[in-house]
Amino acid sequence: MNAGILPYVLILPVTLFLCVFFLYPFVLVAQQAFSDGSNFTLENFREITSHWKFPISLKNTLLLAAAVVPVQLALALLMATMVTRMQKGRDIVLYIWTIPLGISDLAAGIIWLAIFDQSGFLNSMMSGMGLIDKPLNLLSYQNPGIVFLAIALAEIWRATAIMLVILVAGIGLIPKEYYEAAEVFGASPWKRFLRITLPLLRPSLQTALVLRVILAFEIFAVVAALGGTLFPVLMGETYSYQFDLLNNRAAAAMALIILAISIGFTLIILRVLRVPKGASI
């Protein structure tokens, strides 16, 4: 077979798969979002954005992403540098740290619910130590701060590993010579991290951040388990339009808004962390 055609033949199945199961449904969703059954309209978008919960769920989603992603980034960087320094047991530590990745997000939410619940581990521990007389209802509408904190904690616990894995792979690609040279010139470990690891890690940081930020805007199951209806987020509203209100046009419009936000942030991250041409390692 002609070697020039071979690559295209090889990616053909995947391309077909994506077209049938991703692009085609996507076009249908976009059609639904912009139509009232027959005509082109923006009415669906007007309807969802004018609902009183929309600004709240938008704010909650962005706030959660803003709180969770930087913490995860810092943690993942720290963990990745630690792992690469290890001589022994590196694989085991890495496996243990990535366990949360294998757990579905709803299960993760329920695990944390078992901790924060009125009869949960945290309450029994506190009353066991004599800190409180009776179990507190932590996840109630009266403590929006704790609800937010619980969700953020669960998200950090659950999804830091996905950044970690990408960063560990990225750090492994950085040639040792740079570090050796820096050491010869007496650069401190912190300086080596700032001047060598971070800049050379840019492509991996880019990937990790893009992936993580997109997932942060899609947060749903953890919030549903821990916050119920107390903490509305965009994805939860999409679900309720589709299944509670049976309004699939509004749900489609909501999905497109989430997509637009994700694309916007992806472009920003790509731009900010761009790798200059020819500057790769």
Partner 1 sequence: MTLLSKILGAASGVAITCTAVAAQAEVLFWSTQAKPVEESQAMREQVLSAFEGGVDYQPNDPGPWLTRLQAEIQAGSGTIGVLGALHGDFSAMNPDDLVDLSDMGVMSASETFNNLAKLGTDTMQYIPWMQASYIMAANKEALQYLPEGADVDALTYDQLIAWAANVHEATGEPKFGFPAGPKGLKHRFFQGYLYPSYTNGVVRTFASDEAVTAWEKFRELWAHTNPASTNFSFLQEQLLSGDAWIVFDHTSRLAQAFNDRPDDFVAFPAPAGPTGRGFMPVLAGVAIPNTAPDMEASKALVSYMLKPETQIATLRATNFFPVVDVDLPDDLPPSVQAAGNAVAKMSASADANPGLLPAGLGDKGGDFNRVFVDAFERIVLANQDIRAVLDDQKAALAAIMEETGAPCWAPDAPSEGACPVE
Name the site residues for partner 1 (rule: CB under 8 A). 52-53, 118, 134, 137, 139-142, 224, 228-230, 242-247
Least distance between partner 1 and beta carbon 141 (Å): 5
Looking at beta carbons only, is 35 or 242 nearer to partner 1? 242
Compute CA 108 distance to the chain's CA centroid, rounded to the nearest angstrom.
Answer: 14
Looking at beta carbons only, is 95 or 141 nearer to partner 1? 141
3-state secondary structure of 3: coil
Q: With contact defined as beta carbons under 8 Å apart, do 69 and 245 qualify?
A: no
CA distances (Å), origin 182, targets 77, 185, 187: 20, 5, 5
Least distance between partner 1 and beta carbon 119 (Å): 8
Cα–Cα distance between 268 and 273 in angstroms, integer? 8
| 170: number of Cβ within 10 Å | 21
Does residue 127 come out as left (phi exceeding 0), alpha (psi in the -120 to 50 range) or beta?
alpha
Cα–Cα distance between 159 and 49 in angstroms, integer? 29
Least distance between partner 1 and beta carbon 52 (Å): 7
Least distance between partner 1 and beta carbon 38 (Å): 16
Looking at beta carbons only, is 80 or 254 nearer to partner 1? 254
DSSP-assigned letter for residue 136: -
Residue for token pair 């954005």: 49
Least distance between partner 1 and beta carbon 143 (Å): 9
Looking at beta carbons only, is 58 or 79 nearer to partner 1? 58
Strand partners, 40: 35
Looking at beta carbons only, is 53 or 90 nearer to partner 1? 53
